[in-house]
Copies of this chain bind each other. A is one copy, B any other.
Amino acid sequence: MTATGFETHDHSACISTALAAAETCCTEHRLQFTKVRRRVLEILLHEHRALGAYDILAVLAGEGLGAQPPVAYRALEFLVSNGFAHKIEKLNAYIACSLPGQDHSPVFMICRSCQTVVEAQTVLPAGQLAQVARDAGFDIERAVIEAEGTCPACRNSKDAASDAPGTKA
């Protein structure tokens, strides 16, 4: 059990569910869910945080699945372009999608303190961003929305720490 959303959950179940979903989706769309691609998705799912391409590459290399950058980048590119993973631009890192299969425009909340990344959804054609774009005559195709801040758990422990002066942050 580790955290997603910002709550705890059954982690191994969420990994196998996501993996199965990806498998199904690839079959449906005639995509090849190869060994490396599958393994990279597994690695991402195993953490609920963003991993750098070279972190992933290190794991792959340790398993004899390829040691050169393109191996990792190609798998990541496949996963990202088919919606099984996302890139967090702010971190130059990658994370498994928490709602694979459906076409969506994700928004991420990145905790500055524990590095946990949580994915949520917005409706792109609604909201201020869309209004601004409409006003400018700009046609939005994709949007990167990444919020940096403090997650509930870290905020609480920070509050607790400041309640106890003498405990250094």
A residues adjacent to B (C-beta < 8 A): 5-6, 89-90, 107, 109, 111-112, 118, 120, 122-123, 126-129, 132-133, 136-152, 155
Contact = CB atoms under 8 A, between A and B. Distances in A.
Contacts of A5: 136
B147 A143 contact: yes
Contact of A90 (B111, B144, B155): B144
A157 to B, nearest CB: 13
Contacts of A118: 136, 138
A67 B1 CA distance: 50
A5 B133 CA distance: 11
Given A129-B145, A147-B143, A6 B137 contact: yes
A129 B143 contact: no
Nearest to A118: B136
Nearest to A130: B147
State the 10 A-B residue pairs at the shortest beta-carbon distance, nearest first: A137-B152, A89-B89, A140-B149, A141-B149, A144-B146, A143-B147, A140-B147, A139-B150, A120-B132, A127-B128
Contacts of A148: 140-144
Contacts of A143: 145-148
A23 to B, nearest CB: 29
A152 B129 contact: no
- Which of A107, A122, A139, A141 has the most CB atoms of chain B within a 10 A radius of its CB? A139
B136 A6 contact: yes
13 contacts: A107-B128, A109-B132, A111-B138, A112-B141, A126-B128, A137-B151, A138-B151, A139-B151, A141-B150, A144-B144, A144-B146, A144-B147, A145-B145
